[in-house]
Structure 1
C-alpha cells in the first residue's frame, strides 16, 4: 500500500498546505529519540526536494541538538479529514539561527513571531505515502494561541533568557548550538 517517490508532486504539496499538524522525528546515535508535534503557520514547501519550517521556542530544543550530530530527519503528516493518507518526508536537515545567512533567506516566508528560534531546512531524499486507513477522522476546531501569546508577553529579550535556561542542552545533555558563534 505504500508508494515511494524521489520528491513531492503537486498533489502532495496541496495536501501539505491543508494540514494543521505535522510531526518531526530526530535522533542522535545515543540518547532518546524525539518525536514532536508542530502546528501553527510554520511549514513551507520550497520545491519538490526542499522544505523549511519555523521552529518556535518551546520547553526543549531536542531537534537542534540531534541535528548537530545526525542530520537525519523524518516529517510525518496524517490526513485527519477527507481521504485517508499518511505522508512521510525523509531527508537531511540543518537548523539555522538568526546569526546564519540561510535563516534570513527564509524568514520572510513566515508570519513574524517573537518566539522564532530556528529555521529548519530539510532536503528530501525520499517521500513515502501510505494508506492511513487506521487514522481517525477528526474535525479541526482552531489553532491554540497560547504559545504566541506567551512569547509576545515575554518579549524577545526574555525569550533569549529563556533559551539560556531551557534550550541550550537536550534532555540527554547534548548542546543545541543556540548561542554558538560560527
Structure 2
C-alpha cells in the first residue's frame, strides 16, 4: 500500500509529470483548509529531488498564498486517471515568489524559458520533506479531452492593467482575511 520516501524518486516524478491536473492543499490556523486544482501542462516543474515549482495564474482567490505566508504547510497530490493506478503526494512547505521580483524572473528564465503565461501572478516553490505513493485503486478512469482556454482568454481580455485592478480588488486577502503578499506584484 502506501510507501514514503525522503525525496521525489524518478518513478514518482514520471507519474506526477504525466498527469494533466494536480491538487494543492494548504491551511493556516483559524482559516479554512483549502484545496485547489492546478493544470500541470505549462505550469509544473520538478526542479530537484526535494523541490517543485508551479507558475500560478490569476484566479478567483489567493488562499494558497495567504496560507503559505501564515503557516507554510503545503501538500501536492497527483492522481493517475489512466491505466496505471497511483496517487502521489508531496508533503512540505511552500512560499510564494511574486511577479516582478528578481527571483520570479530568475525562476521564469531557468524553468519556463522566460515565457510568462497571461495572468501569471506568482511562482509557488515547494520544499518537499517527504513523498508518498499509494495504490490509487479507488481512483476512477477519466479520459483527458484537452485544456480549457477560458482562464487564458479571460486574462488576455483583461490585459495588464485589468489584471492588476483585479488583484487589487480580489487578491490582497484570503476569504478568511489573511494577507496574501500580492501587493508586491502590484508595485511593478
Q: TM-score, normalised by structure 1?
A: 0.96
**Which residue does the alignment assign to 1:15?**
15
The alignment partner of 1:102 has SS state of helix
**Are residues 1:103 and 2:85 paired?**
no
**Are residues 1:154 and 2:158 paired?**
yes
Per-residue CA distance 1:68-114 (angstroms, 9 max, x = gap): 11111000000001110000000111001124322112113234212
Q: TM-score, normalised by structure 2?
A: 0.93
The alignment partner of 1:123 has SS state of strand
**Are residues 1:174 and 2:162 paired?**
no
The answer (yes or no) to whether the contact 2:99–2:120 under 8 Å persists in 1 is no
Take 1:168 and 1:94, find their aligned partners in 2: how far apart are those partners? 16
The alignment partner of 2:161 has SS state of helix
**Are residues 1:94 and 2:95 paired?**
yes
**Which residue does the alignment assign to 1:139?**
143
Take 1:140 and 1:99, find their aligned partners in 2: how far apart are those partners? 34
How far did residue 62 of structure 1 move?
Answer: 0.4
How far did residue 158 of structure 1 move?
Answer: 0.7
Unaligned runs of 5+ in 2: none
Runs of 4+ in 1 over 4 A off after TM superposition: none
Q: CA RMSD in A?
A: 1.2
The answer (yes or no) to whether the contact 2:12–2:133 under 8 Å persists in 1 is no
Unaligned runs of 5+ in 1: none
